[in-house]
């Protein structure tokens, strides 16, 4: 009897978590317009992008240049990529974090051929 109650409660909790997660995703996607980096209240959300390698962290400023769409893969080549409505030059190997506060967090590892930089990015 106790085993059946435990299984039923576990299933209810799992279903509840799935429903809440899907509702949160829909809510988050509604909060921002990626073409303007503003939320529904028309408040501008400024992206934060930084590069981390070993013990050094550097903020990356947007540039005016043609850019590629940020790939979905974790490891990418150096280049200029678009995040939100801004373009960023990712020229140095290492870990890059892309943050729209309260909305989205992404990370990419820029790798050319320096294995020590790759190991620092993964650690």
Residue 24 has pLDDT above 60, yes or no: no
CA distance 39 to 54: 34
pLDDT in tens, 30-51: 444 454 555 566 667 788 899 9
Helix (H) / strand (E) containing 91: none
pTM of whole model > 0.75? no
pLDDT in tens, 63-74: 998 989 899 899
CA distance 43 to 64: 23
Query: Each residue of 17-39: b (16+ CB within 10 Å) or e?
Result: eeeeeeeeeeeeeeebeeeebeb
88 forms beta bridges with: 81
């Amino acid at each position: 009897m106790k085993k059946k109650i435990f299984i039923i409660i576990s299933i209810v909790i799992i279903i509840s978590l799935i429903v809440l997660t899907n509702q949160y995703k829909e809510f988050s996607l509604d909060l921002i317009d990626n073409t303007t980096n503003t939320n529904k209240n028309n408040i501008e959300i400024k992206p934060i992008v930084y590069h981390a390698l070993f013990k050094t962290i550097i903020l990356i400023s947007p540039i005016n240049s043609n850019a590629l769409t940020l790939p979905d893969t974790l490891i990418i080549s150096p280049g200029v990529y678009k995040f939100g409505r801004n373009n960023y030059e990712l020229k140095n190997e290492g870990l890059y974090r892309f943050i729209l506060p309260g909305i989205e967090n992404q990370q990419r590892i820029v790798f050319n051929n320096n294995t020590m930089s790759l190991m620092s990015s993964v650690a």
